[in-house]
Amino acid sequence: MKRTAPYLVLAALVLLPLMQYSPVLRLGSDWMHVIIMAIMWTVTGMAWNLLGGYCGQVSFGHAAFFGMGSYCAALMTFHFQASPWWGFLVSIPATAAIAMIMGFLVLRLRGPYFVLATLAIGEVMRITFENLVDLTNGTKGITIVRDWVDKTPYYCIILGLAVGTYLLIKRMIGSKWGYYFVAVREDQDAAESLGIDTTRYKTIALVVSAILTGLAGAFYTVYMGYIDPQVVFSLGDISILIIMVVMVGGVATFWGPAVGAVIMIALSEYIRTIPYLGTAYQTFFGILLIVIIIYLPNGLVGDYRKLAKLFTRKTPGAA
Amino acid sequence: MAILEVRDVSMFFGGLAALSKVTFDVEKGEILALIGPNGAGKTTLFNCVNGFYKPSIGRVEFKGETVSGLKPHQICARGMGRTFQVVKPLQRMNVFDNVLASAFLRNPARAKAEKVVEEVLLFTGLWEDREIISKGLPLGKRKRLEIARALATQPELLLLDESFAGLNPAELDVSIEIIKSIKKMGITIMIIEHHMKVIMSISDRIVVLNYGQKIAEGTPAQIGHNPQVVEAYLGEAADA
Query: What is the model's pLDDT at position B238?
Result: 44
Beta-bridge partners for B27: B2
- CB pair distance less than 8 Å for A182 and B93: yes
Chain B touched by A309 (CB under 8 Å)? no
User: What pLDDT band is residue B228 in, cutting at 50, 70 and 90?
Assistant: confident
Across the interface, of A182, A183, A193, the residue whose CB is closest to B72 is A193
Which of A179, A183, A192 has its CB closest to that of B72? A192
Q: Per the CB < 8 Å rule, is A179 touching B150?
A: no
What's the CA gap between A271 and B173, in Å, rounded? 64
> Is B117's pLDDT higher than 50?
yes
ipTM of the complex: 0.87
Specify the 3-state DSSP secondary structure of A114: helix
Confidence band for B240, pLDDT divided at 50, 70 and 90: very low
In chain A, domain spans: 5-318
Nearest CA in chain A to B51: A193
Please give the residue of chain A at the shortest CA–CA distance from B78.
A195
| pLDDT confidence of residue A316 | 45
Rounded Cα distance between A197 and A107, Å, is 12
Identity of the residue numbered B76: C
Tell me what pLDDT residue B6 has. 93
| Terminal Cα-to-Cα distance of chain B (whole angstroms) | 35
Among chain A residues, the shortest Cα distance to B79 is held by: A195
Question: To the nearest whole angstrom, how far is the Cα of B92 from the nearest Cα of chain A?
Answer: 7
**Cα–Cα distance between A47 and A277 in angstroms, integer?**
32
Residues of chain A predicted below pLDDT 70: 1-2, 305-319
pLDDT tens-digit map of B88-113? 888 888 999 999 999 999 998 889 99
CB burial readout B77-87, b (16+ within 10 A) else e: bbbbbbbbbeb
Lowest mean pLDDT among B98-102, B193-197, B214-218: B193-197
Q: Sorting pLDDT into bands at 50, 70 and 90, what band is B237?
A: low
Is the domain defined by A5-318 classed in CATH 1.10.3470? yes
pLDDT number for residue B115: 94
Q: Is A150 on the interface with B (CB under 8 A)?
A: no
Half-sphere exposure of B53 (CA within 13 A, CB side): 21
Q: For residue range B14-37, what is the model confidence (pLDDT) as tens digits?
A: 888 899 999 999 999 999 999 988
Q: Is the pLDDT of residue B138 over 60?
A: yes
Give the pLDDT confidence score for residue B93 in this predicted structure: 87
Quote the minimal CA–CA distance from A150 to chain B in Å. 46
Looking at residue B239, its pLDDT comes to 47
Domains of chain B as residue ranges with CATH: 2-239 (3.40.50.300)
Average pLDDT over every residue of B123-146 = 89
